[in-house]
């Protein structure tokens, strides 16, 4: 979609089950080891859907999926989907976000824009957007509990 196109992402939304679920809330490579699971690139397939598909990563670009060097960013590269980068405000988030953008560019991945999470931090957002030449897609609040209703409300804010 071009930047002038506005389309609701919540038209005919269906939230699909996770492709893989691990029991421990930690890096996938460590959680998989605890669960006795080996994660390989070929364990992942994109589901066939009508319309839009949003694929969520786990923890960040450089998060390991196994001990052999497979990382989330390798999956992103394999599927070659446009990326929406999510940036939360904290000390170091400018560096973290710009390094993530650099890694995505180095791998030739298309970045649609950035979603900022949390209260507005104009100075941080302005410098990230200025240096990266990307656009802000949405701002999503930090909340304790995320459910389907919250996801649908936030998805309506996203403009692609």
pLDDT by residue (tens digit) across 51-76? 888 888 888 999 999 999 999 999 99
First to last CA, the chain: 7
Q: Assess contact for 85 and 115: CB atoms under 8 A.
A: yes
The count of other CB atoms within 10 Å of the CB of residue 116 is 23
How many C-beta atoms lie closer than 10 Å to residue 44's C-beta? 16
16-54 residue pLDDT tens: 888 889 999 999 999 999 999 999 999 999 998 888 888
Residue 10 confidence (pLDDT): 55
Distance CA 21, CA 43 (A): 12
- pLDDT confidence of 5, banded at 50, 70, 90? very low
pLDDT value for 11 = 59
Domain spanning 28-155, CATH class: alpha beta
Distance CA 142, CA 120 (A): 11
Q: What is the pLDDT of residues 114-153, one digit of tens each?
A: 999 999 999 999 999 999 999 999 999 999 888 888 888 8
Sorted by where each begins, the domain ranges of the chain are 28-155
pLDDT at 9 (0 to 100): 52
State residue 12's pLDDT score.
63
Q: What is the mean pLDDT of residues 95-107?
A: 97
CA dihedral over 144, 150, 156, 158, signed as positive or negative? positive
- Name which residue leads in pLDDT, 139 or 7: 139
């Amino acid at each position: 979609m071009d930047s002038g196109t506005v389309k609701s992402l919540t038209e005919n939304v269906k939230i699909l089950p996770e492709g893989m679920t691990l029991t421990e809330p930690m890096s996938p490579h460590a959680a998989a080891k605890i669960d006795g699971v080996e994660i390989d690139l070929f364990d992942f397939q994109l589901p066939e859907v009508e319309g839009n598909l949003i694929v969520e990563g786990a923890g960040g670009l450089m998060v390991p999926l196994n001990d052999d060097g497979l990382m989330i960013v390798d999956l992103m590269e394999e599927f070659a989907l446009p990326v929406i980068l999510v940036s939360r405000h904290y000390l170091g988030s400018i560096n973290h976000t710009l390094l993530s953008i650099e890694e995505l560019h180095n791998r030739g991945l298309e970045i649609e824009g950035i979603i900022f999470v949390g209260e507005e931090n104009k100075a941080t957002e302005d410098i990230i957007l200025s240096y990266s030449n990307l656009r802000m897609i949405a701002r999503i609040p930090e909340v304790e509990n995320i459910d389907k209703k919250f996801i649908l409300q936030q998805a309506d804010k996203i403009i692609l």
